[in-house]
Amino acid sequence: MESSNRLGQGFWNNIRQGRLTTTFTILAVISASVLAGSMLTGHVSAKQKVDSSDARQLVIPNPVTLSNGFSAIAKQVGPAVVNINTETLPKQTPAGHGRSVVPLGPRGGDQGDQDGQGDQGMQDFFNHFFGGPGGGGGQDAGPSRALGSGFIVDSRGYIITNDHVVDKADKIFVKLSTDPDDSTDPGRPATVVGVDKDTDIAVIKINVDHPLPTVTLGNSDSVQVGDWVLAIGEPFGLSETVSAGIISAKNRSIDEGGDANGVAKNEFQKFIQTDAAINPGNSGGPLVDMAGQVIGMNTAIYTQSAGSEGIGFAMPSNTIVNVYNQLIGPEHKVVRGSIGVQFQANMSSAVAHVYGFPNGGVIVSEVVPGGPAAKAGVQPQDVIVSVNGTPIKNGDALIGIVSAKQPGSTVSLGILRGGKHLTLDVGIADRSKLYDNMNNSGDQSNESGSGDVGQNKFGITVQPLSQAQQSRLHVSGGVVVTGVKPGSFGDTIGLSQGAVIVEINREPVTDEASYRAAATKLKSGEEVVFVVRNPQNPSGGNTYLGGTLP
């Protein structure tokens, strides 16, 4: 109050003392500044009326059909592309099978991108990408859902997709391109007609009361590197998405290791490579050429970011047709022929020259006991140079001819043995039955040594530890794990590929014989402890993995 009074007194004193003129001069300057600012602001906002009589209105032009034809192909094929969503109920882990220690290395099954897991090596980046089961397997966990694509090949509701899209799903739903975009409606229920895990192909069916639009399958052998293609699918659930690219390569193989019998898992998987953008959810969708024909099924990507990096893989349409025709048959399965031999997939030119087959051939590494080749007299180190007179350049050529033969038929093999040419008539067996029998009989002759009792009890395959590995780990003997079956006992206790087993239940493991002997003694319900070493950490000492044998 005192300050206010003083200000008031000062103002009236100025008036009395004749200073009023100076005071009002200052106020006038301030007011003029405010007024100038307001006028300037008014000019900047441009609120004044402008004469636009000379402006021309924009006109929407008539539609133009472009020469690339992409849109015509998308309209032609799009109606036959479907969205597939699955529901998988949680599976509770059996009691007594929990992990006792942290696994030695990365592990995981082939369940899609949402898992965030993958096998070692290339599989860390080579991902099936329909979006796999998420969440834990606990009792309170809700159902996990996943997305994928497919395409209709029969107007009665038969659809082709990837096996990994529907594998282990408890419920499968399909949405057609004409169905309402309703997130609360999962779609039409579908049933599995048949699957072929060797090629990752599945056939499913929905019930319909009217004919559905279908795609046309093309001949994948006719496509050339550099040809334009379109990928159509449901990436990230975005329906009817189309991306364009070219054929980057043909007959591309991806190394995913061996199965329980030491046989390459990808020997029937030769892909078309494309740079068309493929992302999670595209899996099972069609790869289409410029004639509007499906020449492949988008199956996988090679990525370090879980998204498209311009390297996608599609299963060729010719393979799809052959598999589909068998899956819709009475037995709903694919039957492949086999003569019962194993061989090294990649052979250097030095080996070819030393063993006398510089013009191509396949050198036999193992012969399945009791199989057709063994009965016909085929021996390890024999070189197969022809089948029924057709020259064999490599293992792919041998597999292509033999697998297409019907079990019970016979082929004539051209053999090189010790520099001499032989001809042997060899029967054809059902490949799946041949290797199932080999596995169940506990035969030890296959290449990876995985047919022993350890495969049946533990779900793992092993091979001897080399001298160099023994020296590096400072151990005398042992076996190294070469494969772990997802969901097996070995998987649940934390055994991983690359782990070195040196002891089982206090019994030293020095070689495959001692490993099999220790495994044979174990019975269901018994506590089992493995002592393992990590080759990546030679000085890390022993790790103990245990659980109750199921």
pLDDT in tens, the chain (550 residues): 444 455 455 544 554 555 545 444 544 544 445 444 444 444 555 567 888 889 998 998 887 766 667 888 999 999 999 999 998 877 544 444 433 322 222 222 233 333 333 343 333 334 444 344 333 344 445 677 888 999 999 999 999 999 999 988 889 999 998 888 877 888 899 999 999 998 999 999 999 999 999 999 999 999 999 999 999 988 877 778 899 999 999 988 775 544 444 444 567 788 999 988 888 778 899 999 999 999 999 988 776 665 667 788 999 999 999 999 999 999 898 999 999 998 876 667 777 777 788 888 888 888 888 899 999 999 988 999 999 999 988 888 898 899 989 999 999 999 999 889 999 999 999 988 887 666 554 433 333 333 457 788 898 989 888 887 888 888 888 999 988 888 889 988 989 988 999 999 889 999 888 898 888 888 888 889 999 998 888 777 788 898 888 8
Predicted pLDDT at 72 = 87
CA–CA distance, 323 with 327 (Å, rounded to integer): 6
Residue 164 known to be catalytic: yes
Level-2 CATH architecture, domain 216-327: Beta Barrel (2.40)
Q: What is the DSSP letter of 70?
A: H
The amino acid at 185? D
User: Which of 528, 462, 540, 524 is closest to 499 using CA atoms?
Assistant: 462
Q: What is the pTM of this model?
A: 0.61
Helices assigned H by DSSP within 78-218: 163-166
Q: Which of 164, 248, 308, 338 is catalytic?
A: 164
Residue with tokens 């082709």: 160
CA–CA distance, 231 with 295 (Å, rounded to integer): 10
Helices assigned H by DSSP within 70-181: 70-77, 163-166
Predicted pLDDT at 352 = 77
Q: How far apart are the first and last CA of the chain?
A: 92
Task: Answer yes or no: are the C-beta atoms of 478 and 503 closer than 8 Å.
Answer: no
The reply to whether 337-434 and 459-548 are identical in fold is: yes
Predicted pLDDT at 143 = 73
Secondary-structure percent of the chain, ordered helix, strand, coil, rounded to 5 = 25, 30, 45
Q: Which of 110, 200, 452, 491 is catalytic?
A: 200
CA–CA distance, 97 with 488 (Å, rounded to integer): 10
- Class of domain 459-548 as given by CATH: mainly beta
The Cβ of residue 277 has, within 10 Å, a number of other Cβ atoms equal to 19
Q: Which of 144, 149, 283, 496 is catalytic?
A: 283
List, in order, residues 6 or more apart from 208 with CB less than 8 Å away. 156, 157, 188
Residue 248 known to be catalytic: no
Q: Are strands 293-302 and 216-217 parallel, antiparallel or unpaired?
A: parallel
Identify the CATH number of the domain defined by range 337-434: 2.30.42.10
Strands (E), 44-184: 81-88, 126-127, 144-154, 158-162, 171-175
CA distance to 345, 361, 399, 422, 452, per residue, from 356 (Å):
17, 10, 21, 14, 34
Which residues are 287's β-sheet partners?
231, 296
Predicted pLDDT at 266 = 62
Residue 283 known to be catalytic: yes
Residue ranges covered by each domain of the chain: 73-91+98-206, 216-327, 337-434, 459-548
Q: Give SS3 for 160.
A: strand
Identify the CATH number of the domain defined by range 73-91+98-206: 2.40.10.10
Q: Give SS3 for 259.
A: coil
Predicted pLDDT at 269 = 80
Q: Give SS3 for 28.
A: helix
Q: Give SS3 for 204.
A: strand
Instruction: Report phi then psi at 497, rounded to 5.
Output: -60, 130
List, in order, residues 6 or more apart from 546 with CB less than 8 Å away. 100, 493, 527, 528, 529, 530
List, in order, residues 6 or more apart from 407 with CB less than 8 Å away. 335, 337, 428, 429, 430
Predicted pLDDT at 358 = 82
Task: Answer yes or no: are the C-beta atoms of 173 and 85 closer than 8 Å.
Answer: yes
